[in-house]
Structure 1
Amino acid sequence: MRIGFAVPQSGPWATPENMRRIATRAEELGYHELWTFQRLLYPVGHPMGPTYRSVHDPLVTLAHLSGLTRTIRLGVAVVNAYVQPVVLAKQLATLQTLSGGRVSAGIGLGWVPEEFEAAGVGMERRGRRGEEFVELLRKAWTDDVVEHDGEFYRVPAAHIDPKPAPGPPQILLGGTAEVALRRAGRLADGWISSSREDLSAVAGRIGLIKETIAGAGREAASFRFVCRGVTQVRPDGAQDARRPLTGTYEQIRQDVAALAAEGVTDVFHDLNFDREIVTADAGEAMRRAEEAMEALAP
């Protein structure tokens, strides 16, 4: 099991100083990966909650932190496929090269209609768009001459250089529907759960993906099953029927071990999804976050 930690990215605690502190301390403590997430906008009156109200850009954040770290991996969970794939391919290729090959690129389909509208992209046929999106990313990273004439995207014969070094970033796909899980098994280097994932269902999702990998004749040993940990430290413990990764440090460590037993390869603790963190004073939020980093370190 590889353990990661999410960067302060949402709310008052997401200051440049706190981002840098979490990144460097996570590397010192042996965490495997730093993680960010994307929220382009927050529609007025939307009930999605405080985590999404004020969010820094995930790739710019990782680019900044890549220069302060040396070994810890850099993951985004996720960038949604309403962005332009060739532009994203260039950004990710540059980040991969500058960081020395540490990038995990999580790709999602998106679910907020207003974001699609603002990006000038239709929300229909998102699954098919996502498949073509991944296809074009891989072409941009590997083909000497990139040429694409698809249903959603067109690229004239062109060189898109330099290629990412030492190789392309890993692509992780999200989703919980059967079609999304099978898509990940066919096309991706890994699958990543969402913040709303029912962790009691993870074993079944992993089984379905492994079945798809085998059916496609792909290599399963290196495939990553990444769990976004909506981690909420509650020192007094949680009540019966508690949500996994909520409770005391000991309960959370036991939950991580249980996820490993079900086939999860990576868990990252994301305090951005704890209302008590993202609505707290920045100093108090960081005090709690640093305590959690120490207690939950690999």
Structure 2
Amino acid sequence: MKLGFSLPVFGRAAATPGGIARYAREAERAGAAGLWVADRLLSPVSPEVPYPGYDTMPEEFRTVQDPFVALSVAAAVTERAVLGSSTINATQYQPANLARQLTSIDVASNGRLLPGFGIGWSPEEYAAVGVPMGERGKRLDDVLSLLETWWTRELVAHEGVGYTVAESHVGLKPVRRPPVHLAAFGERSLRRVAERADGWLPVWSVPEQIPAEALKGMVAKLRADTEKAGRDPQALGVALRVNVARGIEAAAIAESVKKIVEELAPDHTFVDLNYLADSVDEQLDLVGRLLELTAGS
């Protein structure tokens, strides 16, 4: 099994000086197939919409690294691991700057970037960046269109949602067109995956919250809808994030991961360790144990 892990971008481990570089280097050396980031801007004291499953926000969100910086650092100290995001809230960033950042990371990593996008759920975050939350869907469609142009044409011009890119020379191109994956569970967002994305970003929880058979059925339906949209259903990738409740032993995590990978056969799988351990060393210890426990699967 090729297993990846989150970079320490949330919680106390995220505040470790030099921690991301050391973690990325040592995790890849141990055998991690991928290194992944997520994205949080704010941790409101009294959120209008609490984090799912919480009355407020997880304590880990009080200390957060920038996902683009984290991926850039990881790109500089690794050679093989996929560098992914599950997810970056793409609609909270100025699109032209986003396109340049992603392209730069892909070039720096020699084509290892797997950008995974979501649209977020926090009204406070949207207010902080001055973006109307009600425009999330059309802004994501716009970002996808701009990225396609930015990555495939030498002359780039684009009339976007609230911005304009005048016809310009864009000579920096990714090593290969990064496969854009989208987080989606609603009907409209799943349709966007089928019609426009290179892959889907499902989530598996330990302990189990959604039956494996249900996720497997969603993948099958997505691929059927992808075919209806005139696209190759087998080319639709799956990058699975595994969320784990604090206090669960490594052996139980490994067994659950092996179960869902056998059922779902994702292209990429990673375990989010940001909520399980408070230091870089503790997270690296978990990386080693989980790789050992899943070896040969």
Pairing of 1:259-298 with structure 2 (within 5 A) = 259-274=261-276, 277=277, 280=278, 284=282, 287-288=285-286, 290-296=288-294
In the TM superposition, what is the alpha-carbon distance from 1:250 to its structure 2 partner? 4.9
Query: Is 1:147–2:148 an aligned residue pair?
Result: no
What residue number does 1:249 align with? Answer: 251
Q: Could you tell me how far apart the structure 2 residues matched to 1:293 and 1:22 are?
A: 15
Please tell me whether the aligned partners of residues 254 and 293 of structure 2 are also in contact (alpha carbons under 8 angstroms).
Answer: no
Q: Could you tell me how far apart the structure 2 residues matched to 1:79 and 1:153 are?
A: 20
Please tell me whether the aligned partners of residues 132 and 152 of structure 1 are also in contact (alpha carbons under 8 angstroms).
Answer: no
Pairing of 1:118-133 with structure 2 (within 5 A) = 118-133=128-143
In the TM superposition, what is the alpha-carbon distance from 1:125 to its structure 2 partner? 3.0
Pairing of 1:54-133 with structure 2 (within 5 A) = 54-80=63-89, 81-133=91-143
In the TM superposition, what is the alpha-carbon distance from 1:109 to its structure 2 partner? 0.9
Give the secondary-structure state (helix, strand or coil) at the position aligned to 2:258.
Answer: helix
Please tell me whether the aligned partners of residues 256 and 267 of structure 1 are also in contact (alpha carbons under 8 angstroms).
Answer: no
Please tell me whether the aligned partners of residues 249 and 296 of structure 1 are also in contact (alpha carbons under 8 angstroms).
Answer: no
- Judged with a 3 Å threshold, the aligned counterparts in structure 2 of structure 1 residues 50 and 147 are, in CA distance, closer, same or farther, namely same
Pairwise CA RMSD: 2.5
Residue identity matched to 1:213: T
- Judged with a 3 Å threshold, the aligned counterparts in structure 2 of structure 1 residues 100 and 283 are, in CA distance, closer, same or farther, namely closer
Q: Between the two proteins, what is the percent identity of the paired residues?
A: 32
Give unmatched runs, 5+ long, in structure 2.
48-55
After TM superposition, the structure 1 stretch with the greater mean CA deviation from structure 2, 193-202 or 256-265, is 193-202
Residue identity matched to 1:203: K
The count of corresponding residues between Structure 1 and Structure 2 is: 282
Q: Could you tell me how far apart the structure 1 residues matched to 2:59 and 2:162 are?
A: 33
Runs of 4+ in structure 1 displaced over 6 angstroms? none
After TM superposition, the structure 1 stretch with the greater mean CA deviation from structure 2, 217-226 or 251-260, is 251-260
Give the secondary-structure state (helix, strand or coil) at the position aligned to 1:124.
Answer: helix
What residue number does 2:226 align with? Answer: 213
In the TM superposition, what is the alpha-carbon distance from 1:161 to its structure 2 partner? 2.6
Query: Is 1:5–2:15 an aligned residue pair?
Result: no
Give unmatched runs, 5+ long, in structure 1.
235-245
Q: Could you tell me how far apart the structure 2 residues matched to 1:119 and 1:194 are?
A: 27
- Judged with a 3 Å threshold, the aligned counterparts in structure 2 of structure 1 residues 213 and 285 are, in CA distance, closer, same or farther, namely closer
- Judged with a 3 Å threshold, the aligned counterparts in structure 2 of structure 1 residues 250 and 150 are, in CA distance, closer, same or farther, namely closer
Give the alignment's TM-score, normalised by structure 2: 0.85
Give the secondary-structure state (helix, strand or coil) at the position aligned to 1:74.
Answer: strand
Residue identity matched to 1:207: A
Q: Could you tell me how far apart the structure 2 residues matched to 1:44 and 1:155 are?
A: 37
Residues 187-236 of structure 1 deviation map (CA, whole Å, 9 limit, x = unaligned): 111111258895423123212211121111212333221111113475xx
